[in-house]
A = this chain, B = another copy of it.
């Protein structure tokens, strides 16, 4: 049984995490804390793992306090800079038995899509990405699609793969979409959708497609619980959930 404290427990992700921890047979929710509560309360409640879904301005101090107190950390709060990550890495040298996971995305499907498409992309002549979201989203393309494109581009560069062929000479209205690190990325916005991504690859006579669909915030929970289960077995700082996945 893993004793878990959730910080940011009244936020949307935090509240969903509390319910998921309570439902997991191998975990106990020992503290559901919020702004103003102390990490010390998590310790007194007997927590072994702290899950942080707070706000960018609070998360770094929370993690350092948790390390000080001997808690493993699973962090979903965004806004971590390279400098802030380096400070956590440094601090952990004093406590080499502790694990800290800082992950921008806990959706297993999205994480797998990024990782597996990067692995596969060197074997295909062409790669393009279509991301699809609800029409209230203000930015295009999505951050996930940008990361996916960057990962694919890096993997293809390392393997020495040529750019995807494209004979387009007439495209007066921009139908070919954005180009991110040399990869074409298209953004669809449709009422009824939530968050979806399709990575398409092609060779002569052959297509290969990876698609991920996220319909609901609960889709992040298997990833959060995976983090909680594995964090004690991965001492030191890990950035990105795929560091815990054996692929």
Contact = CB atoms under 8 A, between A and B. Distances in A.
Contacts of A137: 167-168
A112 interface: yes
A207 B226 contact: no
Contacts of A245: 123
A211 B213 contact: no
Interface residues of A, number: 78
Contact of A210 (B126, B185, B210, B217): B210
A239 to B, nearest CB: 19
A171 interface: yes
A203 B187 contact: no
A179 B173 contact: yes
A171 B127 CA distance: 21
A204 B136 CA distance: 12
A1 interface: no
A206 interface: yes
A245 B113 CA distance: 18
Contacts of A81: none
Nearest to A136: B167
A180 interface: yes
A189 to B, nearest CB: 5
Contact of A141 (B166, B173, B184): B173
Interface of A: 107-109, 112-113, 116, 119-120, 123-128, 130-132, 135-141, 145, 164-180, 184-193, 200-219, 221-222, 226, 245-247
Closest CB pairs A-B (n = 8): A205-B216, A173-B178, A206-B219, A205-B219, A190-B202, A175-B178, A192-B202, A175-B187
10 contacts: A108-B206, A116-B210, A124-B222, A125-B222, A141-B171, A176-B189, A188-B200, A191-B204, A205-B218, A207-B211
